[in-house]
Amino acid sequence: MFAGIYIHIPFCRSRCSYCDFATGMYESELATRYVEAIVSELGAWREVEEPSDVDTIYLGGGTPSLLTPPQVEQILKAVRDRFTVFEVAEVTIELNPGDGGENAASKQGKLQEFRGCGINRASFGAQTFDDRELKQLGRTHNSSDICLTFGQLRKAGFANINFDLIAGLPGQTMAGWKRNLDQALKLRPEHLSLYLLDVHEGTPLARQIKRGMRPVPDDDLAAEMYRVMIDEVVAAGYEHYEISNFCLPGFESRHNTKYWTGAPYYGFGCSAHSYDGRRKRWSNERDAAKYVEQINNERPPIVEHTVLDEKDVRAESIFLGLRLMRGLNLAEYRSRFGFELRDQYDADLMRLRDAGLIEIDHKLLKLTRRGALLSNEVMTAFV
């Protein structure tokens, strides 16, 4: 089984109101030291004695495209020096449509340089095509930037593009959400990540809602938006292959699918998480400056190790596998763990089936459309 490599780049031009990721403001000096630290971490990495070969690399953040192409190339070279990377690996970079205030020509050149580094997939946070909503979210781009960036990526040779949209924003209407879907489908990217808003405690958005500055999101409306989303995107020829992800045939995110299928993945950079594909998980220091300091002092950046017991591994295989709309193969579960899933969770399975949240037969356990919407309720049965 091939592994994935995740590289966390924590820098942004501004902080979005809904974000709770490990990110901070871009500083060129810190970015230089940070890239050098990642290269050092990769060179010294010995967490797995015989690591799996690699067929996906994902530069996430934050906004990895704030790095210069030579810095990105430096990181990718360090990955290839440390791991055996499959020749036709999927290599993704996240970017922001409003990056840097560069003029169109310099931005186009930068994207072409990224493509020349071997990056063959791009993912960016469109979030909404409504300029008012973008401003309220603290985004640095407008709706025109989304279309411009998409066109520039195509011109740079990117034939595999994803962008994100968020449904259920405070004050968002069904008509507005349908306009977002229409705009997205006109561009026809290979992949769409379509999320319902999740308000995290401690974020500016959560504080704004609490103070009455923004309306409380309407859960019933968000549910209807999810239904409309599936209908319209599937009708346009996309496969609904994961709770929040859609793709044209053959364009599933190979990297993200590793998280849902229990494949190994190795994370580098601050706050990066790793899994050996069996029992062992570990994560790095969250703060970027502290991460760099630890690397420079030749101390491991890992701050947490977890060894899963058999019960944890079984539970994870269920609730991660259920995120994929194709469902969980019951024969594979039985072969892997030596148990019949029906015997272990019979009462819960019947309750969830009677509630219309799952479908189960002698081959597969999978979510219904309603179950996908209420997936958190389903997953708690297996924790």
Query: What CATH number did the domain enclosing 349 receive?
Result: 1.10.10.920
- Classify residue 114 as exposed, middle or buried by CB count within 10 Å of its CB (0-12, 13-18, 19+): buried
Q: Which two tokens stand for residue 268?
A: 């580098």
Q: Which of 337, 301, 322, 309 is nearest to 376 (CA)?
A: 322
Q: Where are the beta strands (DSSP E) in 49-106?
A: 54-61, 85-95
Of 260, 279, 295, the residue that ends a domain is 260
| 350 and 252 both lie in a single domain | no
Number of structural domains (the chain) is: 2
Could you tell me if residue 291 is inside a domain? Answer: no
**CA separation for the pair 90, 159 (Å, rounded):** 12
Q: Which long-range contacts (CB under 8 A, 24 or more apart) does 262-265 make?
A: 262/316, 262/317, 262/320, 262/321, 263/1, 263/2, 263/3, 263/4, 264/1, 264/3, 264/4, 264/48, 264/51, 264/52, 265/3, 265/4, 265/5, 265/6
Query: Can you give the pLDDT at residue 141?
Result: 77
Q: How far apart are the first and last CA of the chain?
A: 26
Could you tell me if residue 110 is inside a domain? Answer: yes
| 223 and 162 both lie in a single domain | yes
Could you tell me if residue 279 is inside a domain? Answer: no
Residue labelled with tokens 């169109």: 104
Could you tell me if residue 278 is inside a domain? Answer: no
Of 221, 243, 260, the residue that ends a domain is 260
Could you tell me if residue 292 is inside a domain? Answer: no
Amino acid identity for residue 181 in this structure = L
| 41 and 128 both lie in a single domain | yes
| 126 and 212 both lie in a single domain | yes
Could you tell me if residue 282 is inside a domain? Answer: no
| 103 and 207 both lie in a single domain | yes
| 247 and 325 both lie in a single domain | no
Give the contacts of 225 (CB within 8 A, at least 6 positions apart): 167, 168, 172, 174, 177, 196
Better-predicted residue by pLDDT, 52 or 362: 52
Element of type H or E holding 185 = helix 174-187
| 187 and 327 both lie in a single domain | no
Could you tell me if residue 283 is inside a domain? Answer: no
Better-predicted residue by pLDDT, 218 or 93: 93
Pairing of strands 85-95, 3-9: unpaired
| 155 and 20 both lie in a single domain | yes
| 232 and 317 both lie in a single domain | no
What CATH number is attached to the domain comprising 11? 3.20.20.70
Q: Which two tokens stand for residue 175?
A: 């008509």
What's the pTM value of the predicted model, to 2 decimals?
0.92
Residue 15 reports pLDDT greater than 60: no
Could you tell me if residue 284 is inside a domain? Answer: no
Pairing of strands 273-275, 328-329: unpaired
| 323 and 251 both lie in a single domain | no
Please state, for a pLDDT cut of 90, what percent of the chain lies above it.
69
| 84 and 228 both lie in a single domain | yes
- Give the model's confidence band at 22: pLDDT under 50 very low, under 70 low, under 90 confident, else very high: low
Output DSSP code: residue 52.
P
Write out pLDDT tens, residues 317-336.
Answer: 998 999 999 999 999 999 99
Structural domain boundaries enclosing 367: 310-382
Write out pLDDT tens, residues 204-260.
Answer: 656 766 676 666 667 788 889 999 999 999 999 999 999 999 999 999 999 999 999
- Give the model's confidence band at 139: pLDDT under 50 very low, under 70 low, under 90 confident, else very high: confident
Output DSSP code: residue 290.
H
| 246 and 315 both lie in a single domain | no
